[in-house]
Chain A
Amino acid sequence: MADSTAHAAPAEHTSTGLPSTKLAMWLFLASECLLFGALITTYVLYRGASTTGPYPNEIFDIRYTSVSSFVLLASSLTMVLALTAADQRDFARMRLWLIATAMLGLTFVGGQVYEFTSFYHEGLTLKSNLFGTTFYVLTGFHGVHVTVGILMLLSLVGMSWAGRLPDDQAFPVEMVGLYWHFVDIVWIVIFTVVYLVPQAKPAG
């Protein structure tokens, strides 16, 4: 891999030999696995248990949600391209990719707000049935995580512009990237469990 890139954590002396910030980020992501694990479990537990509508198959628009999934996947790609640019110390390009990632994230969140609004107009509220409660809590939590990720990305861009990032800007970009990709892998699971699997019910 001749053209591979590499980056280092800021020099720090730790008893583990690993940068504490990165270790803490992975621990945080492990705890987030448990949070989303609990939410997904709750959704699956009550799937098909609603006694009143609207039901998933009546309101889901898989084509629309698929586009949102592609948007979030694309944002993961732009995120790693930002990291590559930071590795190469091309900070202007890094900021451009970070802004692109934030914009794609905003598109995803905007799409989710639109989806929630249309579901609300079709009668699905947080209290209407078990599906509504578990669906809004699960996807809502994910949407909040994406929104936090967007704020982190825009903060990175602002700090980079203001010259307030450390000399090796790749490290903070990698940390925010880990969070962003985590949000992406959670969506991979949600997209399958919530949107695609209900469609797989045999007709009749």
Chain B
Amino acid sequence: MTMEGLDEFQEEIGAEGLADPREAGHARRRHPSAKEYVRIGVILVVLTTLEVWTSYSGLPHGLMITMLFGLAFVKFVLVVLWYMHLRFDDARYSRFFIMGAAGAGILFLVVLLLLKAFAR
């Protein structure tokens, strides 16, 4: 690709925050410090403890399930945003991952809705 071609390509896709393709790989992005990583680790341990406690707590079934999935979701998001750096990296990585995760979620809903409905 020529330099002009690169400029046209960048204009075409108009991606926000897109570094000059000619400088690909040179962009340095800030990542959390060790202290921040440890803080996230402590939060994850607390949330996991809370999850285990919830499963033994004897709370009403619906509330328990909601809490368990809510806690798992928060843990999932914390790891993805901080440890996998999606909070700090280029937004296009997030889009790829969200595509996969959303695909899995849609598959889950479609299969369960279809097959559970047919089973009745």
Contacts and interface: CB of A to CB of B under 8 A. Distances in A.
Contacts of B34: 5, 81, 84
A199 B19 contact: no
Interface string A14-35: 1111110011001101111110
A15 B1 CA distance: 8
Name the residue among A27, A62, A63, A77 with the largest chain B CB count within 10 angstroms. Answer: A77
Interface in A178-196: 178, 181-182, 184-185, 188-189, 191-192, 195-196
Interface stretch (A39-47, A106-114, A140-148, A154-162): A39-47
Interface residue range, chain B: 35 or more
Contacts of A14: 21, 24-25
Interface of B: 1, 6, 9-10, 15, 18-38, 40-41, 44-45, 48, 51-52, 54-56, 60-61, 64-65, 68-69, 71-72, 75-76, 79-80, 83-85, 90, 92-93, 96-97, 99-101, 103-105, 107-108, 111-112, 115-116
Given A17-B19, A33-B97, 20 more contacts: A11-B25, A13-B24, A17-B20, A17-B27, A18-B92, A29-B97, A34-B104, A36-B104, A37-B103, A37-B105, A41-B107, A44-B112, A45-B116, A62-B52, A70-B45, A76-B44, A84-B34, A174-B85, A191-B51, A200-B68
